[in-house]
Amino acid sequence: MSIPSKYPAKQHARNVVSHLKTKIKDLSNYAIFLSASTQESYKYSDAGKPFRQERYFYYLSGFNFPSGHIFYDINKDKLILFLPQIDYDDVMWSGFPINQEQALEKYDVDEVLYDDEIDSYLVKYDYNLTIDLELTNKKWRNFISRSKDLFYALDESRLIKDSYEIALMKKAAEITDNSHLAVMSALPIEKNEGHIHAEFIYHSLRQGSKHQSYDPICCSGPNCGVLHYVKNDEDLKERESILIDAGAEWENYSSDVTRCFPINGEWNKEHLVVYNIVKRMQTETISKIRDGVSWDELHLLAHKILIDEFLKIGLFNGNKDEIFESGVSTIFFPHGLGHLLGMDTHDVGGYPNYEDPDIKLRYLRLRRTLRKGMVVTDEPGVYFNPYLIELGLKNSNQAKFIVKSEIDKYLAVGGVRIEDDILVTEDGYENLTGITSDPDEISKIVKAGIAKGRDHFHNLL
């Protein structure tokens, strides 16, 4: 997959200003100043933490090293990258850092200077807007000011992905597809949840992705009913179902994909019933994605499909509309249909309302109309979590709709979630996720891996 040579930082800066102008009409005395993350060590240790670049800074620079700074002169449309001073004592350990000439060649900026020149630029304007006042910019606190308006402008800019960002996300998705396929194909050597975790990361690393978008969720059986299960340490023995939610990162851009499969390649009755319910929830909601569609409405559609299917198989009884109004479906589908995706897994700009009086909408992380250029996850799920079920049974307004004797038959499944990464287009969508979610195809992949036997795989333990 071809990716252009330079991250479009200059255009990103212009995008931010266009949104900033909706809040501040006259920007003639304003500039923007953001700082990179620093390389931190663990407390009471000289061992360094894995470096993670500050995402807003990266959006305006493309610079993926510690301790840099970016200055955007709004009036002159000039973007300046400031490099940290060379620490010559560190050169022996880490080698020479990128220099001015290399940085100017690599990054979409107008000028590259060292950070001892920052003061002379900040004094030009009365307002040098930044997002936080912290250790990274402490030296210049007298020249800069934290701005909620800048936060807004950055969030609105990051909301819509340009072609470069989409190319990075497609690369992340491709790596993720291959890694999920590897997990499904390697059951002879996957004897506990940790092996699944290891298999995914191993194949991501082999494809050049050194970082995950988030800590992978690798669960089996009843553990699949825990939404963000990350223990990933229990044996698969006597379990029948697997859920893996994992996404590789590429150049700071995320993927986020969930797949479920039977451990022996054969779907048992309950597992397949639940899987097909979730599959319908996802298929029908994805089919309606396009510019101008309300994400709230798609989320509520998923709830209505769940209710319809639960009535068919006897897990609910009662009037469909009354069941919907009661919110009892949130016991089995407690999270949102999906969220924005970008440099962060739960990307900025979604405007969730965690105090929404409607429990069905309270945990929905995206609460706005879809727009062309957004990337969202579509990830409905159905879960049989004993804790949530117990809460529902204690709620008289909800308990009357639940058929507990039937629900109990599904506890061993734990839960099913199917998650794809979707680019919103003007007339529809593009699914960036390629790994199959068809239950028959998944079964064939798992069985083909099992047929190869343990000796087929390079595995020492």
The count of structural domains within the chain is 2
Residue 1: inside a domain: no
Q: Which of 141, 159, 177 is the last residue of a domain?
A: 159
Q: Are residues 149 and 296 in the same domain?
A: no
Supply the pLDDT for residue 219: 98
Residue 3: inside a domain: no
pLDDT, average across residues 282-308: 98
Residue 107: inside a domain: yes
Q: Are residues 114 and 217 in the same domain?
A: no
Q: Are the beta carbons of 50 and 211 closer than 8 angstroms?
A: yes
CATH for 80: 3.40.350.10
Q: Are residues 240 and 379 in the same domain?
A: yes
Report the distance separating Cα 256 and Cα 391, nearest Å.
30
The parent domain of residue 221 ranges over 163-456
Interval 198-256: pLDDT, tens: 999 999 999 999 999 999 999 999 999 999 999 999 999 999 999 999 999 999 999 99
**417 phi, psi to nearest 5 deg:** -135, 140
Report the distance separating Cα 122 and Cα 185, nearest Å.
56
Q: Are residues 225 and 143 in the same domain?
A: no
Interval 395-406: pLDDT, tens: 999 999 999 999
Please report, for residues 4, 68, 288, the alpha-carbon distance to residue 367 in angstroms, rounded to integers and kept in the order given: 32, 34, 16
pTM of the predicted model as reported, rounded to 2 decimal places: 0.96
pLDDT, average across residues 425-453: 97
How long, in residues, is the chain?
461
Q: Which helix (H) or strand (E) holds 11?
A: helix 9-20
Q: Are residues 153 and 196 in the same domain?
A: no
Residue 336: inside a domain: yes
Residue 4: inside a domain: no
Token look-up 């499969």 returns 261
Q: Are residues 134 and 231 in the same domain?
A: no
Q: Are residues 153 and 174 in the same domain?
A: no
Report the distance separating Cα 151 and Cα 143, nearest Å.
18
Q: Which helix (H) or strand (E) holds 441?
A: helix 439-452
pLDDT, average across residues 120-125: 97
Interval 45-80: pLDDT, tens: 999 999 999 999 999 999 999 999 999 999 999 999
User: Can you point out the beta strands (E) in 140-186?
Assistant: 144-146
Q: Are residues 135 and 231 in the same domain?
A: no
Q: Which of 159, 192, 210 is the last residue of a domain?
A: 159
Report the distance separating Cα 403 and Cα 389, nearest Å.
11
Q: Are the beta carbons of 240 and 268 closer than 8 angstroms?
A: yes
Residue 224: inside a domain: yes
Please report, for residues 111, 277, 300, the alpha-carbon distance to residue 281 in angstroms, rounded to integers and kept in the order given: 50, 6, 10
Q: Are residues 152 and 167 in the same domain?
A: no
Report the distance separating Cα 336 and Cα 357, nearest Å.
15
Residue 312 has pLDDT above 80, yes or no: yes
Q: Are residues 264 and 409 in the same domain?
A: yes
CATH for 384: 3.90.230.10
Q: Which of 159, 181, 199 is the last residue of a domain?
A: 159
Q: Are residues 225 and 263 in the same domain?
A: yes
Q: Are residues 104 and 218 in the same domain?
A: no
